[in-house]
């Protein structure tokens, strides 16, 4: 029996990563699927009348071994992958898809669920009512009410989709890893900060190359696009980044994008929905595509005049400074940074010495302690009795406690490497749930791609990286403070347009003097960040807010253009994209670039028909943080209300009810517009 199919004999039941071998996964998956099938059979063959306990609850607690193996494997595939793991993923995904369909299309199982659902059992808690409703819908929304021939069609679609999404992600990662820009003339690095130059040199050395190596990983890409004076090299890098999986070669994603969009549409139609967006949004706060579109267009109306003013100012600034006639996409970050420095006398290089990674982590922990009474203890010693195994030496591990005992295990993985996809995300290796009176505590992880330490400097974060860390830490708190009975309703298992509230609200503390003084200390002399810099951070926080808002709206509109209509007539990905971006375009279009072919959020991740939720959640977070500001940003009463009604409740009730319980009212968009400086 594989190590993965046994109870882990580790402290806190954490994953024994160093003992798991790649060849363990496939047999472990097959064994766990077989075990889960037997658990389902036991529910179906139960001769007693269907009840909430013997059917709904029994189904909830089935397949736990399979869920645990899946969590470990797919988290590794995102953060520490290789060819072997990707090959296993291609084999495993169809098996999981088929097993999932075997459950949701199991007529006898559905009959039992339907019987409980129709009997409207009394004396259920709100959480149990939600679980019953969710379980019934998970079957009906996955074809349980379909005739047999249509169920077969659904199975085939799901199998193909699971493989296409994997292939999409593999192509994007391969493209990102393939590109390297080796610079041999130091003059071509003019403008680049010393830390970025040193990191580029170190990267080149690690690959036995002479010079400075720039890649598409964010810690390499962003500083170059922001500071490098050489416009031609910025253009080269920008084109490489923007053309990922859009080169008509073996890593091209154009056909995959069109296939995914069409399969999702066919699936929705099979299930009786007008479009994929109608299917998805039924389980969101927004409910219908029309609500999303009116929300995005209302924001567009408010943001566009500001964005156009900001763009005109930026264009004039670039013309005055460098005689640039036409501002291009590869000029955006560069001249924005120059203008920001001029207006606020502030740049990331001034701020970075105050944001040593270790201090920022400690700051996030202090904020969590002041708000929610949490304590974080790093477990470093391999010989310690409570040592937590890790999947890579860069990973940090923590035991999280409060006055009542263990709250969670927390993993943090901060630096880029070849087997790790770009971006930042929160995930979990084990959910929180209560079984037989025992509250199983969660194992939560955040994964980022920050600048690595160099020989002469520690990892110093840009302010944007600071807010990213707080953002992902907010998701982690949602997972860590979960306190529900059922894992499928626990932590971040909430509507997608609600899931960003805890993460985005945490970013607000990065702009507050009271919070910054806890951790923003110079890495060389421990001097607290000066007040004038804090004031500049605050003043510059709404810099180019119109342009930023327009950008997010454009992504939401692109998402809806793929999923909110019949895509069968779309034959050209680029043409479709330009049309979708129409009302939000300010920069000239770049023929070689295409966003859709690398838009992993909607074509690989879970954000299809849901990208709008970032802005939706901003409305919630701005409104929520106004409440904190009114009472004090570390006010215990408000923090407890947030913990008790939002963070601990997961998806146990309708999110608007939870929000109103915390806030006393529905959120008002004016709070966001005020914060963004878009209200006149």
Residue with tokens 């610079």: 183
Marked catalytic residue, from 175, 472, 507, 512: 472
CATH code that applies to domain 352-530: 1.10.1370.40
Q: Show the 3-state SS of 58-80.
A: HHHCCCHHHHHHHHHHHHHHHHC
Residues 312-352: pLDDT tens digits? 999 999 999 999 999 999 999 999 999 999 999 888 888 99
Residues 427-472: pLDDT tens digits? 999 999 999 999 999 999 999 999 889 889 999 999 999 999 999 9
Residue-level pLDDT at 680 = 60
Residue 532 has pLDDT above 70, yes or no: yes
H or E segment and range at residue 370: helix 357-372
Residue-level pLDDT at 582 = 94
Nearest one of 27, 31, 48 to 39, comparing CA atoms = 31
Stretch among 299-308, 534-543, 550-559 having the lowest mean pLDDT: 534-543
Residues 106-136: pLDDT tens digits? 999 999 999 999 999 999 999 999 999 999 9
Phi/psi of residue 593, each to 5°?
-100, 150
Per-domain residue ranges of the chain: 3-145, 179-242, 252-345+542-680, 352-530
Q: Judge if 3-145 and 352-530 fold alike in CATH terms.
A: no
Fold of 252-345+542-680: 1.10.1370
Q: What is the mean pLDDT of the chain?
A: 95
User: Could you confirm whether 65 is annotated as catalytic?
Assistant: no
Do residues 33 and 101 lie in contact, with contact meaning Cβ atoms separated by under 8 Å? no
Fold of 3-145: Glutathione S-transferase Yfyf (Class Pi); Chain A, domain 2 (1.20.1050)
Residues 349-402: pLDDT tens digits? 889 999 999 999 999 999 999 999 999 999 998 888 899 999 999 999 999 999
405 beta partners:
402
Q: Is 531 exposed, middle or buried (0-12, 13-18, 19+ CB in 10 A)?
A: exposed
Residue-level pLDDT at 369 = 98
Residue 151 has pLDDT above 70, yes or no: yes
Which percentage of the chain shows pLDDT scores above 90?
A: 87
Residue with tokens 């930042």: 424
Residues 402-427: pLDDT tens digits? 999 999 999 999 999 989 988 899 99
Query: pLDDT higher for 86 or 678?
Result: 86
Nearest one of 261, 37, 44, 276 to 141, comparing CA atoms = 276
Residue-level pLDDT at 268 = 97
Phi/psi of residue 214, each to 5°?
-110, 135
HSE-up of 133 (CA within 13 Å, CB side)? 13
Do residues 425 and 413 lie in contact, with contact meaning Cβ atoms separated by under 8 Å? no
DSSP 52: I
Which percentage of the chain shows pLDDT scores above 70?
A: 100
């Amino acid at each position: 029996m594989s190590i993965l199919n046994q109870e882990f004999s580790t402290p806190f039941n954490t994953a024994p990563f160093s003992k798991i071998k790649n060849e363990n996964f496939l047999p472990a998956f097959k064994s766990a699927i077989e075990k889960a099938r037997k658990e389902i059979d036991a529910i179906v063959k139960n001769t007693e009348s269907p009840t909430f306990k013997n059917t709904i609850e029994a189904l909830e607690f089935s397949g736990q071994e399979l869920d645990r193996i899946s969590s470990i494997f797919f988290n590794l595939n995102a953060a520490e992958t290789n060819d072997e793991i990707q090959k296993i993923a291609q084999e495993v995904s169809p098996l999981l898809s088929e097993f999932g369909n075997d459950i949701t299309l199991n007529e006898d199982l559905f009959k039992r669920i339907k019987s409980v659902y129709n009997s409207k059992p009394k004396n259920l808690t709100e959480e149990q009512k939600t679980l019953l409703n969710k379980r019934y819908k998970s079957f009906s929304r996955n074809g349980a009410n379909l005739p047999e021939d249509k169920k077969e069609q659904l199975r085939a679609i799901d199998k193909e989709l699971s493989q296409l999404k994997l292939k999409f992600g593999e192509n994007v990662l391969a493209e990102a890893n393939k590109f390297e820009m080796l610079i041999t003339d130091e003059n071509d690095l003019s403008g680049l900060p010393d830390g970025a130059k040193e990191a580029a040199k170190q990267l080149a050395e690690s690959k036995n190359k002479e010079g400075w190596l720039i890649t598409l990983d964010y810690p390499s890409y962003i500083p170059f696009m922001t500071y490098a004076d050489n416009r031609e090299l910025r253009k080269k890098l920008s084109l490489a980044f923007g053309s990922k999986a859009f080169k008509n070669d073996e890593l091209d994603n154009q056909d995959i994008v069109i296939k995914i969009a069409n399969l999702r549409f066919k699936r929705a139609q099979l299930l009786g929905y007008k479009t994929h967006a109608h299917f998805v949004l039924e389980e969101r706060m927004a409910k219908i595509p029309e609500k999303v579109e009116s929300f995005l267009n209302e924001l567009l109306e408010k943001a566009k005049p500001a964005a156009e003013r900001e763009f005109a100012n930026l264009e004039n600034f670039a013309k005055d400074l460098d005689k640039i006639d036409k501002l291009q996409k590869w000029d955006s970050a560069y001249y924005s940074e120059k203008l920001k420095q001029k207006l606020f006398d502030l740049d990331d290089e001034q701020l970075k010495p105050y944001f040593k990674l270790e201090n920022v982590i400690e700051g996030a922990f202090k904020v969590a302690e002041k708000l929610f009474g949490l304590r974080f203890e790093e477990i470093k010693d391999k010989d310690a009795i409570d040592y937590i195994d890790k999947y890579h030496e860069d990973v940090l591990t923590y035991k999280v406690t409060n006055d009542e005992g263990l709250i969670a295990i927390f993993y943090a993985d901060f630096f880029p490497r070849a087997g790790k996809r770009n971006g930042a995300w929160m995930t979990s290796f084990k959910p929180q749930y209560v079984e037989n009176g025992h509250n199983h505590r969660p194992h939560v992880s955040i994964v980022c791609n920050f600048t690595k330490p160099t020989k002469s400097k520690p990892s110093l974060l840009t302010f944007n990286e600071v807010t990213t860390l707080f953002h992902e830490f907010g998701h982690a708190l949602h997972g860590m403070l979960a306190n529900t009975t059922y894992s499928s309703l626990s932590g971040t298992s909430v509507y997608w347009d609600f899931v960003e509230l805890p993460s985005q609200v945490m970013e607000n503390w990065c702009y507050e003097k009271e919070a910054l003084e806890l951790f923003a200390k110079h890495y060389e002399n421990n001097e607290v960040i000066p007040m004038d810099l804090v004031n500049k951070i605050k003043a510059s926080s709404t810099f180019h807010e119109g342009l930023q808002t327009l950008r997010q709206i454009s992504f939401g509109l692109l998402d809806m253009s793929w999923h909110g209509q019949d895509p069968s007539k779309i034959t050209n990905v680029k043409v479709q994209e330009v049309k979708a971006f129409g009302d939000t375009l300010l920069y000239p279009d770049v023929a070689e670039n295409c966003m859709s072919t690398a838009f992993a959020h909607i074509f690989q991740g879970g954000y299809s028909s849901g990208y709008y939720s970032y802005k939706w959640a901003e409305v919630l977070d701005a409104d929520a943080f106004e409440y904190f500001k009114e009472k004090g940003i570390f006010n215990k009463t408000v923090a407890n209300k947030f913990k008790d009604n939002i963070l601990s409740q997961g998806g146990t009730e309708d999110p608007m009810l939870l929000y109103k319980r915390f806030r006393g009212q529905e959120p008002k968009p004016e709070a966001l517009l005020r914060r963004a400086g878009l209200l006149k």
